[in-house]
Amino acid sequence: MDTLCKQAVEENAAVACFYFSFAAKEDQSPAVVLGSVLKQVVNGLEEVPERIVRAFRDREKVIDGQRLMLSEITEILKDISSSRCTFIFIDALDECPSEHLENLLDLLNHILQSSPGTRLFTTGRPHILSEVEEHLGGRLATRSITPIKDDVMTFIRAMLQEDTMPDAMDESLEEEIMRNIPEAITET
């Protein structure tokens, strides 16, 4: 994500992220997800688009007009991202409430379709792969993420250095950990 941010800055692009979580207590509907994305994109603009300012100032005049409607959010995102490269990063798409996933994917697809400068980076567990493929169609590239041995070794070393009970560790135990865990993980 940080690497992406740096690369995006070089491209003069906007970056927005959303982290899905089963543990989230708040609503994770498409309006919330894309509302959050829109906020981050607008935050990167020097001026707030007129359409948003007007809607904000009119919000109390409209019944149920407390927040932007999903359709407005999508339209405004499309407008902004059609004139400016925008990277949208969504983590744990499989933790998106299942009743919302299809709608969210369709809206993202719609945004990608009308704004060729938009890029979507998502992660998730493999069981939603076919659904993601179905809704993002030809626009989608996929990549399987598996732990590589070097990464596992680097990670374990970092964890061992933070050990809160260093006295419990001796050389042979450390060797055993460094040998067994990476093997077990990369076998799966």
| Sole residue written with tokens 């993420």 | 145
Considering the rule CB under 8 A, would residue 97 count as an interface residue with another protein?
Answer: no
State the nearest-atom distance from the C-beta of 102 to another protein, in Å. 15
Report yes or no: 45 and 80 within 8 Å, Cβ to Cβ: yes
With CA atoms as reference, report the closest residue to 180 among 161, 159, 153, 154.
153
- Contacts to another protein from residues 22-41, by CB under 8 A: 26, 32, 35-36, 38-40
Q: Is 184 in the site for another protein (CB under 8 A)?
A: no
Report d(CA 114, CA 80) in Å as an integer: 11
Span of 12-20, 96-104, 166-174, 175-183 interacting with another protein by CB under 8 A: 12-20
- What's the token pair of residue 42? 């607008």
Measured CA to CA, the distance from residue 129 to residue 109 in angstroms comes to: 15
Judged by CB under 8 A, the stretch of 96-104, 111-119, 164-172, 175-183 that binds another protein is 111-119
Least distance to another protein, CB of residue 103, Å = 16
Could you say whether residue 43 binds another protein (CB under 8 A)?
A: yes
